[in-house]
Structure 1
Amino acid sequence: LTLWEGGLPYKLDSLALSTEGRSQLGGVLKEKDPFGAKAAYDANTDRMLFYSNKQDASSSVLTLYEFNSKFRLVSDGYGMVSDNEGGKVEVKMPGLALISDFAVTENYAIFVQPPVATNGMQFLMSKDPAKSCVLESKSAVLHLVNRV
């Protein structure tokens, strides 16, 4: 599996190192879902965590996904396999949340949201929306997201 910030992850052939196409992770992701380029492995629970971040000029929605060793979404602290309703946590974030990495502890996933402001009209009309972003001179926001 290879990750990138622009959309669905790609499945890789481990022998030929060729791509086998986009992956929706067994139906967990929708075709248009964004997906983060970073993952975190929790060796204590043998779980892999990923995130997606749907961004807007005024708000963002971050979804944390937690998979067990069989690459199935988990639903509780015992690693029980669930259907696609469990194994994920959604959090609304204020403003444009430019998230590019995260860390995990036993109970939380930790995200740092830099203080970014956007010009809404320029963001919508620009061919390069990133040019409408300005780093403000205030503190970043630390988000502690409960794990599944």
Structure 2
Amino acid sequence: MTPRAPRWTGDRRPRFPRTARLDAVGHAALGGACLAAAAGSALALRWTGRPPAVRAALGPVVVVTGLVALDRRRWAAMTTGLSSTDDAAATRVVADLLVARGLPVEVDEQRPGLRYAHRDARRVHAALQDLGVDTPDR
């Protein structure tokens, strides 16, 4: 038996952040924001009586958590696509079935395929599998 190439290649692990590509300046800005937040939280939480390192740790956690939340929200609104055939009519039929199930999908007429938001990907893939359409392994 000869080995087969994987159907979906590439690194499937989620990146941090998903939508932004931080270069040296971006990493420096993130580091600066974390340092400023650390100093601010250390000063603002003096009344707690905790050691300065513990007080300072809260600031960067808030900055990075906010960055991740905004990044995930932006990523969820971005669209992705799936094409399983070159037949535009078949793609339209599948899209109509998905829309009937309440899923917000659009048909890409130029290259027959479905377009949908990342936030809806799991529901769309589950519905496609129910319809017998091959979907990417997740």
TM-score range normalised by the length of the shorter chain: under 0.3
Larger relative contact order, structure 1 or 2 (CA cutoff 8 Å, min sep 6): 2
